Structure 1
Amino acid sequence: MQGHPLISIETWFERFVDGFRTRAGEKKLFLDRKVRHIKRVRAHVQEIGKECEWSRNMALAMDVAALLHDVGRFPQLVERKTYDDTLGYNHAEEGARLLAQADVLSVLPDSLRDRILCAISFHNCAILPGGLEPDSRLILDVLRDADKLDAVRNNLRYLSPDAPHNTVLKSGLLWDAQHVSPLVLELCFKRQLIPFNQIRWSNDFILFLCCWVYDLHFPYSFKQLRESGHFASLLERLPNNADLMPIKRQLASDLDWMAAQNRS
C-alpha cells in the first residue's frame, strides 16, 4: 500500500541489516539466519492475530514489533561477535535504544511507538516488570510467544554435542546423557520457568526450553507447539531414566491439556 508506514519501516530494516552484512565476514551465516528467524517470528505473530480481534493499529504494532525485535542482535553479532546478553550488551535493551535514536518509528502515532519500544526492550526478560500498560503487555505477550516458538525450532537443530555452530551449548554448558540439576528438576515439577543461570547440563537446557510451555498465552501458540512436533522432539532428547521419566510425562500431559483448553 503506497504511503503505508510499514513500507518505510521495512525499508529502514533492510538497509540496516545490509549495513552489517557488508562487514559481517564469516559471521554472515549467522546474520542471515537471524533474518530468517525474524521472518518466522513475524509469521507466528500474524497467525496469532488471525484468532484475535485486534484493531488495525494494534495489528500494525504487533507486526512492527516482530520485525524489529532483534535489531540489537546485528551490532551484537558483528561488532561484539557474540549472542551472549550477559557480556555487557543486552540485545533487547540496546535494540530499543537504537530504534529510538534512529527515529524509525516516527511514522507511527506516539502511543504505538512507545508500546513497540516497550515490547522490544523486555522481550527477552526472564521476569517481566509489573505495572505495564495493558496494550504494551499484550504486544509483549504476543511477541514473546512467537519468539519462543521459533527459538524451540532453532535449538532443536543444534541439540547435539557435535552440532556445528552450537553457540548456546558451548557457553559453559556440559553435555551428559543422564545428569540433570536437582533445582532444575524441582522447578519443572512446580511448573515454573528455569533461570538460565541455573543451567549446567544439556538436559537442564532442554528442560529450560520445555518449561516455556508454562509461559505461553494464546491458543495458536499451544497448538503450534504441539502440532509441529517440536515439543515432542525436545522430550525425546531427554533420557528415559527414573529422574526424568515423570517430568517427561508431566510436560507432555500439560501441553495436551493446555492445547485442549485453549482451542480457538
Structure 2
Amino acid sequence: MQKEDLDLFKKWFLDYVNRFSSPEAFIKENIQLKIEHTARVRENILLLAKTEKVREEGCRLAEAIALFHDLGRFEQFMKYRTFKDSESENHALLGVKILENIGILSRLPLREKDLILKAVEYHNLMEIPGCPGNSREFLLYSKLIRDADKLDILKLVSEDYAREEKSRNPALEFDFPDTPGCSEKVVADILNNRMVKLTDVRNRNDIKLLRLSWIFDINFQATLALLKQHGYLDTILSSMQETEEVQIIRKHLKSCLNAFETEIRA
C-alpha cells in the first residue's frame, strides 16, 4: 500500500464519520468514543507491527485495517443505539458491507483489498477461522488488529470503571444489570483458560470477566507487556467486590499472564 492510498482512506474516514454528528448527548458521546477508539487502535497496531519488524508498506496496510475495523459501529449505534451485536447486527460484517458498497478499496491490488476485508470481518470473532486460504500474512495482520483492538477496549473500560458510578457509560457494558455474583459458566471458562462467550454473560461482573478472558487470545509479547504496564486487568478486578471467587480468578489470571509471556518469548 502506498502513502497516498492511506492518506485518501484517512480523509474518507473523517468525511464518513462526520455524517453521524448528532445533538443528542448519548449518541454524540458514543460516536466520538468510537472515533477516538479508532485513532488509538491505529497507534496500537503500528506499535505492535513495528515491534514485529513489519516493513513500512506493511505498516500502512496494518493502519488501514485499524482505520476500518470498527467502521460498522457508527451506523450500528445510530440505528440501534447499542454496540451489542446480538441486539442489532454484526458490526464487522456491516463494516465489510459498507466498504464493498462504497468501493473505497478498489484502488488497491486485489491481495491487499481482500486482506483488509477479511481482517475486518474476523476481528471480533472468538477465534480466527482455520480456513485453507488464510495465509501467514493474513494471520499476522489478523492477530495484529485483534491485539490492538483488545488493548484499547481494556483501556476504555478500565478508565470507565475508575470513574464515579453516575458518570459511567452504560453502552460500554451493553446495559447488563449490576447484580451481585458471577455466572458459573463464565467463571469456569476463565479457570479453564477459555474466552468467555457473550451469550453466557448475565450481569456487569460477567462482562468484566469476559474482557479479562481476552488474555487467552493475546498474540504478541509487546501486547502482554502493555497489559502489565498499564495494569488494566488489576483495575477491572479492583472494580469488583473482593470475594473469594474474585481472588481465585486474580491469582489464576496472573499465573496465566506469566506463563503466556514465557511461551511467547520461546
Tell whether the structures are fold-level matches, with TM greater than 0.5. yes
Confirm or deny: 8 A CA contact 1:57 1:112 kept in the other structure: no
Which amino acid in the other structure matches residue 233 of structure 1? T
3-state SS of paired residue (1:200) = coil
1-structure distance, mates of 2:182, 2:200: 11
Task: Indicate how the Cα distance of structure 1 residues 218 and 24 shifts in structure 2: closer, same or farther if over 3 A, else same.
Answer: farther
Match of residue 196 from structure 1: 198
1:97-116 mapped onto 2 (5 Å cutoff) = 97-116=97-116
One-letter amino acid matched to 1:176:
T
Partners in 2 of 1:143 and 1:3 — Cα distance?
20
Aligned mates of 2:14, 2:230 — CA distance in 1: 29
For residues 88 and 30 of structure 1, what CA distance do their matches in structure 2 show?
16
Where does residue 117 of structure 2 map in the other structure?
117
Give the aligned residue type for 2:143: D
Which of 124, 136, 139 does residue 137 from structure 1 map onto? 139
SS of alignment partner, residue 234 of structure 1: helix
**TM-score normalised per structure 1:** 0.90
> Kindly tell me: are residues 170 and 18 of structure 1, through their superposed partners in 2, closer, same or farther at Cα, counting changes over 3 Å?
closer
Distance in 1 separating the partners of 2:184 and 2:3: 56
SS of equivalent residue, structure 1 residue 17: helix
C-alpha spacing 1:24/1:74, structure 2 compared with 1 (3 Å)? farther
Structure 1: 5+ residue runs without aligned partners? none
Structure 2: distance between partners of 1:137 and 1:79: 32
CA distance in 1, matches of 2:160, 2:128: 28
Work out whether residues 65 and 116 of structure 1, in 8 Å CA contact, stay in contact via their aligned partners in 2: yes
1:39 aligns with 39
Greater helix percent: which structure? 2
**Residue 239 of structure 1: how far off its partner (Å):** 3.1
Aligned equivalents of 1:244, 1:146: Cα separation in 2: 26
Checking the alignment, whether the CA contact within 8 Å between 2:31 and 2:74 is kept in structure 1 is yes
Partner of 2:247: 245
Give the total of aligned pairs.
260
Hey, what's the Cα distance between the residues in 1 that align with 2:243 and 2:141?
A: 40
> What SS does the corresponding residue of 2:190 show, helix, strand or coil?
helix
Structure 2 spans left out of the alignment, 5+ residues: none
Equivalent residue for 1:85? Answer: 85
Identify the residue that residue 149 of structure 1 maps to in structure 2: 151
Q: Report the counterpart of residue 220 of structure 1 in structure 2.
A: 222
Q: Specify the alignment match of 1:169 in structure 2.
A: 173
* Aligned mates of 1:95, 1:170 — CA distance in 2: 20
Q: What is the distance in 2 between the residues matched to 1:167 and 1:251?
A: 26
Which SS does the other structure have where 1:243 is aligned?
helix
- SS of the residue aligned with 1:130? coil
Q: Which moved more, 1:145-154 or 1:103-112?
A: 103-112
Counterpart for residue 69 of structure 1: 69
Query: Counterpart of 1:235?
Result: 237
The one-character-per-residue Cα deviations of 1:216-235 (angstroms, maximum 9, x if unpaired) are 10111100011011111122
Relative distance call for 1:242 and 1:79 in structure 2 (3 A) is closer
Partner amino acid for 2:77? L
Q: What is the rounded CA distance, in whole Å, between the counterparts of 2:83 and 2:257 in structure 1?
A: 29
* Partners of 2:82 and 2:88 within 8 A in 1: no
Q: Distance in 1 between matches of 2:81 and 2:174?
A: 15
Output the TM-score relative to the length of structure 2: 0.89
The 3 A distance-change label for structure 1 pair 73 and 238 is: same
RMSD over equivalenced CA pairs, Å: 2.1
Give the Cα–Cα distance (whole angstroms) in 2 for the partners of residues 175 and 17 of structure 1. 32
